[in-house]
Amino acid sequence: MRENWSVEEIVGRFKDRGMRMTPQRMEVLRLLTEMSHPTAEQLFEKVHARFPFVSQATIYNTLRALKEIGVVAELAGGGQRVLHYEMASGERCHFTCRSCGQIRDVETDEPPIAKDLPKLHGSYRIEDYRLELFGVCPECAEGT
């Protein structure tokens, strides 16, 4: 996975798959860079406000295409059925509050242990990994 994607690279990947980068898809991309772990529904609401004729299917299809080309990562959100999305940017560590469901990026001083794992037997190569932590955030902990 990559840390930063240029618009030209993403457009090129869409073209390689025979897809156009429409204004609606560009808006989804823009929102993904500005919002913190949005759901497809949250993206739909924002895109729909700007492009009233956009459908939810367009949002889901765009997210699926962006995920397939390695530009977007999908987060399960702590066992919830609602998926959250973010721009793919290499190794990430996330904390998901089991009480309120909020997902936060967690900064780590040292890389997680996945880089230190021995190579798998054969020709397997670790290209990406994600560390997900689950618990109760400080705000929810104060309320209990």
Last residue of a domain, one of 75, 109, 124: 75
- Phi and psi dihedrals of 136, rounded to 5? -120, 130
- Do residues 63 and 95 both lie within one domain? no
140 is in an annotated binding site: yes
CB 138 within 8 A of CB 119: no
137 is in an annotated binding site: yes
pLDDT at residue 1, rounded to an integer: 38
pLDDT at residue 103, rounded to an integer: 80
Token representation of residue 89 = 């940017």
- Do residues 13 and 59 both lie within one domain? yes
pLDDT at residue 52, rounded to an integer: 96
pLDDT at residue 92, rounded to an integer: 67
100 is in an annotated binding site: yes
**Is the overall model pTM greater than 0.75, yes or no?**
no
Mean pLDDT of successive 10-residue stretches along the chain, which has 144 residues: 69 88 92 89 96 96 89 71 74 78 74 58 64 85 81
- Do residues 118 and 65 both lie within one domain? no
- Do residues 68 and 14 both lie within one domain? yes
pLDDT at residue 67, rounded to an integer: 87
